[in-house]
């Protein structure tokens, strides 16, 4: 026992707790990092990736993911970079200037940088007709934050009573609803243009009206549309019923940009699902509508996250 006591007394600070007061230096918490996105579209050249990386790294930023696409025999370059940075060390205005210099160096057709936490959300207007499924899904997606947009208004050519779910939702959240009844002769496009003039892009959530060439050119910004994937075989009214009666085995939905060619704009997103003899008309329609909701929501999210770039005349690059 005496040996043990002697050993313990020799090493009091190792095997026991010191009774001395120990002071610790308080470290300043690290600056919160912000997330940035940059997309680049320019003629292909040597050293683009290196210059992009250096632009971000030289300001203390760190690339998390980088996607690059160089189509064969096209001599063009596409990229999308996700990165984090310290806003105190790389102010937003300086970032814009740095990427502008880079775009000038490589004669870029498109160079866009976005910092979701600092930049305003995209302002959109939603156009809808009688069917509610896509409209309701967008409103709920906006409400729970799945869609990083601000909805300025909803425009429809169909009257909705004050006690309907859509109108109650819009009134509760202060989103204006404009009912503009249309005819073949009067599409009321001038009134629509006035309502959407401060938006970044439009969403057609099953809006069953054709927008004219004059409207598209006057508006000038992108318009995203959704339609079922039963075209061109089943046109006109009740396409789902036509497809169901024809016994199709595969249904789908397509979201695309609106152009002057009806339903032929560059495709952003497509989704498909199998149906079978076990489906009745109700389940068939439900599956089709679910695809439309998912497809449109995905297309809008991809657009807001700068994942969509033009490719050739009628195509897109979607990272």
56-59: which pairs have CB atoms within 8 A and are 24 or more residues apart? Answer: 56/81, 56/83, 56/85, 59/85, 59/89, 59/90, 59/94, 59/95, 59/98
Q: Rounded CA gap, 289 and 312, in Å?
A: 31
Burial 58-91 (b: 16+ CB within 10 A, else e): ebebeeeebeebeeeeeeebbbbbbbebbbeebe
pLDDT tens digits along 176-215:
999 999 888 899 999 999 999 999 999 999 999 999 999 9
What is the rounded radius of gyration, in angstroms, for the C-alpha atoms of the chain?
A: 28
**Per-residue pLDDT averaged across 229-250, rounded?**
80
Q: What per-residue confidence (pLDDT) applies to 154?
A: 98
- Binned at pLDDT 50, 70 and 90, residue 28 comes out as low
pTM recorded for the entire structure: 0.86
| 89 vs 238, higher pLDDT | 89
Q: Are the beta carbons of 288 and 255 closer than 8 angstroms?
A: no
All structural domains of the chain: 32-112 (3.30.70.260), 120-316 (3.40.50.170)
Q: What per-residue confidence (pLDDT) applies to 7?
A: 41
Q: Rounded CA gap, 141 and 138, in Å?
A: 5
Angle between helices 92-105 and 48-57 (to 10 degrees): 160
User: Residue 25 pLDDT more than 70?
Assistant: no
| 10 vs 71, higher pLDDT | 71
| Structure token digits, residue 191 | 């009134």
- Binned at pLDDT 50, 70 and 90, residue 146 comes out as very high
| Structure token digits, residue 236 | 């006109």
Q: Which of 125, 142, 137, 128 is nearest to 293 (CA)?
A: 137
pLDDT tens digits along 37-56:
999 999 999 999 999 999 99
User: Known catalytic residues?
Assistant: 263
The DSSP line for 290-318 is HHHHHHHHHHHHHHHTT-EEEETTTEEEE
Distance between the two ends of the chain, CA-based, in angstroms? Answer: 73
């Amino acid at each position: 026992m005496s040996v043990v006591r002697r050993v313990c007394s020799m090493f009091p600070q190792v095997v026991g707790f010191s009774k001395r007061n120990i002071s610790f230096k308080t470290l300043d918490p690290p600056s919160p990092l912000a997330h940035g996105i940059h997309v680049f579209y320019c003629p292909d050249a040597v050293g683009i990736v290196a210059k992009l990386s250096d632009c971000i790294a030289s300001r203390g930023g760190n690339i998390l993911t980088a996607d690059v696409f160089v189509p064969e025999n096209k001599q063009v370059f596409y990229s999308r970079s996700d990165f984090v940075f310290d806003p105190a060390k790389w102010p937003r205005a300086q970032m814009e200037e740095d990427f502008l210099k880079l775009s000038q160096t490589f004669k870029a057709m498109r160079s866009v940088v976005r910092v979701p936490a600092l930049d305003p959300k995209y302002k959109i207007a939603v156009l809808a007709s009688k069917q509610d499924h896509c409209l309701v899904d967008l409103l709920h997606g906006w409400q729970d934050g799945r869609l990083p947009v601000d909805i300025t208004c909803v425009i429809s050519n169909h009257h909705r009573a004050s006690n309907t779910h859509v109108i109650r939702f819009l009134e509760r959240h202060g989103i204006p609803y404009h009912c503009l009844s249309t005819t073949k002769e009067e599409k009321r496009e001038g009134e629509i243009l006035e309502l959407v003039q401060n938006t970044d892009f439009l969403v057609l959530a099953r809006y069953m009206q054709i927008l004219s060439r004059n409207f598209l050119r006057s508006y000038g910004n992108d318009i995203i549309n959704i339609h079922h994937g039963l075209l061109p075989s089943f046109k006109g009214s009740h396409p789902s019923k036509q497809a169901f009666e024809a016994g199709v085995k595969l249904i789908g939905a397509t979201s695309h940009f609106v152009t002057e060619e009806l339903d032929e704009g560059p495709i952003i997103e497509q989704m498909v699902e199998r149906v079978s003899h076990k489906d009745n008309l109700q389940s068939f329609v439900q599956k089709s509508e679910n695809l439309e909701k998912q497809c449109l929501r995905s297309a809008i999210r991809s657009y807001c996250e700068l994942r969509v770039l033009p490719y050739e005349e009628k195509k897109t690059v979607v990272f």
